[in-house]
Amino acid sequence: MFNRFMPLLFVLLVVIATAFIFLLFRGSGAPEVLPQTSGGPGAGPDGIPEYRVESEAEYQLALEALGTSTDDIEAWARSRGFPPATYTSSRGAPLELNYRTARESRLRDLAEDGDYWAMQFLAARISPEKPQEAIELYRKAIVHGSAYSAYKLGGLYREVARWISISHDDRDEVVEIERRENPLAYSSLGWLLVAEYEAGLPPGSMTASLTSFHAPDDGVMGSCERAARFLAEIQAERETLGISVTARKPPLAIELPAEETVGYCPPDVFPRADFSDCETIRLVGDAGAVTGHRCR
């Protein structure tokens, strides 16, 4: 069943760790639902529409019944900088290949013109040798509207921590990054929190992989406070540069179970995506059920 849900989880939640939301319910049994017709919903005991999703065909039927499609979901992902290989240019080539095969000088020219795709692909290319410049490029891409770059920046800080602890990397640039961001784990989680918020995703969608931060301890609060500072800096830069980034929630957002987000940022410390204007639904399978939001 896990594999059946992978296309949904990869596109909606971007990071593969989010698939754990389904595994948490393994063996618990599926709740009772009313029969469905052509992918339409049944009704749970609380009145929330329930969609059974046990196969790719049922998943597609559920999306159709919700009035959305994988194309809609991918269009949202692209609007936030996520580069699935299915996106094509006017010439029909995958979008990411257009940037991956470009010369560094070409990427730099595009980045100077405000192309955040070029910024984030260039940052990924140079990060092992020039991590400080990569950090600056990712930040610039975030300012221009790429939530994916916030996710990548969080990952880069984790990489820097690994370079230091495993490879004993003592390059001046790496040592300076560690000094400035100490502890690196706070900045890593902080940027993943920014990525969630900028993408309009539920809490835990991108941070679930950092299991060491699931407990409500000082580490989480420190990361939340750092994330709030990062977000304020990004928004201030946008205002200075006259850049407007329209908030846009995904067409279908999947929540982690409530017990998995206990200890995440309190809303008064770091904001959360608001789904009050979206339709609440439930996806049901033999492994259990998860809550989702259909946002139009």
Q: What is the pLDDT along the chain (296 residues), one digit of tens a residue?
A: 333 333 333 333 333 233 323 322 323 333 333 344 344 566 666 778 888 888 888 888 888 888 888 888 888 888 899 876 656 655 666 777 788 889 999 999 999 999 999 999 999 999 999 999 999 999 999 999 999 999 999 999 999 999 999 999 999 999 999 999 999 989 999 999 999 999 999 888 887 665 554 444 577 888 999 999 999 999 999 999 999 998 888 998 988 877 777 667 888 999 988 898 999 998 888 778 888 999 87
Query: What is the structure's pLDDT at 112?
Result: 95
Helix axes 131-143, 172-181, angle to 10 degrees: 50
Question: β-pairing, 49-52 with 279-285?
Answer: parallel
pLDDT of residue 216: 47
**What is the per-residue pLDDT for 23?**
28
Sign of CA dihedral 149, 152, 157, 159: negative
End-to-end CA distance of the chain: 28
Distance CA 144, CA 74 (A): 19
What pLDDT, on a 0 to 100 scale, did the predictor assign at position 148? 95
136: domain range?
A: 2-294
d(CA 28, CA 122): 45
pLDDT of residue 170: 92
Q: What confidence score (pLDDT) does residue 12 get?
A: 37
Partners of 283 in the β-ladder: 51, 290
Q: Is the dihedral of CA 162, 165, 166, 172 positive or negative?
A: positive
**pLDDT at residue 231, rounded to an integer:** 97
Closest CA to 5 of 245, 263, 252: 252
SS3 35: coil
Q: 191 and 228 in contact (C-beta within 8 Å)?
A: no
pLDDT for 158: 92
Please state, as a whole number, how many other Cβ atoms lie within 10 Å of the Cβ of residue 271. Answer: 13
Please state the domain count of the chain: 1
Q: How many CA atoms lie within 13 A of 122 on its CB side?
A: 27
